């Protein structure tokens, strides 16, 4: 998309296929591709080159946090792209988007705020989100403002049908 910067080259290690519905939060490292439906948060852990790819057939209801996000499907929830976000022509986001770099094709739709910021600030914003713990790197600094919240630790369950 847009052809300016080199795409991340992480192989797809996990696939949520078309017709598959996952209920629960997902943590992944490396590459995750979604053609099905996920009802829960998705978080990349441990690998700063992790890639989340959501096809035009894929959808997520929950918060998405990953270094690289390639989106051409639907997300109902906030998106935290620590490095790069690419929105394809059929991408739909109902929620706020925080990113370091962004590419947007004609036709993409975001119903929420677009906030450009540094990777550390994106990580901190994900961490401060009161809905769950979403930090994805070890570079997160503790909150410096008394108004910021400490993240909650949540239990991770993945349930497939």
Kindly report the pTM of this predicted structure: 0.71
* 65-116: pLDDT as tens digits: 999 999 999 999 999 999 999 999 999 999 999 999 999 999 999 999 999 9
Side-chain-side CA neighbours of residue 91 (13 Å)? 24
Contact 139, 122 (CB under 8 A): no
Contact 79, 73 (CB under 8 A): no
- Environment class of 100 (CB within 10 Å of its CB; exposed 0-12, middle 13-18, buried 19+): middle
Structure tokens given for 152:
């909650």
List the chain domain ranges.
Answer: 12-131
* Averaged pLDDT score across all residues of the chain: 78
Backbone region of residue 35 per phi and psi (left: phi > 0; alpha: psi in -120 to 50; beta: other values): alpha
pLDDT value, residue 122: 67
* 67-78: pLDDT as tens digits: 999 999 999 999
- Supply φ then ψ for residue 10, to 5 degrees: -105, 130
């Amino acid at each position: 998309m847009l052809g300016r910067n080199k795409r991340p080259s992480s192989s797809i290690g996990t696939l949520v296929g078309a017709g598959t519905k996952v209920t629960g939060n997902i943590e992944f490292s490396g590459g995750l591709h979604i053609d099905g439906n996920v009802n829960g948060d998705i978080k990349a852990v441990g690998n700063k080159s992790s890639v989340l790819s959501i096809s035009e057939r894929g959808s997520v209801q929950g918060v998405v946090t990953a270094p690289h996000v390639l989106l051409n499907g639907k997300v109902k929830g906030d998106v935290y792209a620590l490095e790069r976000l690419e929105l394809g022509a059929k991408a739909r986001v109902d929620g706020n988007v925080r990113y370091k770099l962004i590419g947007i094709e004609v036709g993409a739709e975001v119903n929420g705020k677009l906030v450009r910021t540094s990777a550390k600030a994106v990580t901190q914003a994900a961490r401060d989100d009161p809905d769950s713990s979403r930090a994805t790197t070890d570079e997160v600094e503790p909150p410096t403002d008394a108004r910021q919240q400490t993240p909650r630790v949540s239990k991770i369950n993945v349930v497939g049908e």
